[in-house]
Chain A
Amino acid sequence: MKTTSFGTLINKAGNGKYTNQDAPENLIRYITRTNGEPKNDLIAWGGLGILEYKSIDSIIGQFSLAQQLHTRKGDFGRFIDHEIFSFSPKGESLLDENNVDIDRLAREMAYTFYETDHCQVLYGVHSPSEKDAHLHIHFAINTVSFETGNKRRENISQTRERNTQFQNMIAARLPNDDM
């Protein structure tokens, strides 16, 4: 049975990306709109394995704390992973029509990273007002597992699998005749 695609998960990790030490800070500030840019499209944010009620500076520190568990010598590589779930126009309107709690949905999506990789995750939902832009959820994932101290890796098939999981999560929140 073919089901509606509610959006696409994009993995922004490319060769040489996010390899600077300040990459986690820059990304966290971008997602939470605390980087000085006057955008007001942030409608929800939160995280797992972080203290949400503390300041953004503290959250950046919490990410760096977990990275201290990585003790292997050599090039550290990526300091942060960045994935975006971008809703299709149809997906976005279905969420609206059915009053889906987007914060809850984003949190459940973030939990898949936390549960499988044991990495801290920060998410932020952006709802841009520009004509061609759509609702999307950013995920900033710590590249170091707080459980093992090892680096996180995700290949294309794992991203695809996660995308399917996300589609199912959205479908579960909608009435059957919307799919």
Chain B
Amino acid sequence: MSRTKSKNKAISIRINETDLITIDYLAATAGMKRSAYMCQRSLSTGPNLAKPLRDKIKSWNLLNEIYHEIQKSNDTQLKHRIHKLLSVEDSK
């Protein structure tokens, strides 16, 4: 089986007929071929959704450390300022 054929088969496992019709319609509207359209979509949306979430989760451990360390401090003003910063960071 050629590389293109096996690739098409792999795509067909994940995408059903209705999805393909929608993709073809959107590709035609954008004046592109199906493969070029899918490639452009995956480059523009795929990594952008996952990467911030990954980075966010990784940063949470550091925020925990900051929170626990500041809890031990007697400086109430500093505590208040850090808690404020942490709540701003969480809401992003």
Partner-B contacts on A (CB < 8 A): 46, 48-54, 62, 65-66, 68-69, 73, 120, 146-147, 149
Contacts and interface: CB of A to CB of B under 8 A. Distances in A.
B53 A53 contact: no
Contact of A52 (B53, B54, B67): B67
A68 to B, nearest CB: 8
Given A69-B50, A149-B50, A53 B67 contact: yes
Nearest to A58: B90
Contacts of A62: 57, 60
B14 interface: yes
Chain B interface, DSSP helix/strand/loop, else mixed = helix
Interface of B: 14, 50, 53-54, 57-58, 60-61, 63-64, 67-68, 86, 90
Contacts of B64: 46, 51-53
8 contacts: A48-B61, A49-B57, A51-B64, A52-B64, A62-B60, A69-B54, A146-B53, A146-B57
Contacts of A49: 57-58, 60-61
Given A66-B57, A73-B14, A51 B63 contact: yes
Contacts of B86: 53
Contacts of A48: 61
Contacts of B61: 48-49
A49 B60 CA distance: 6
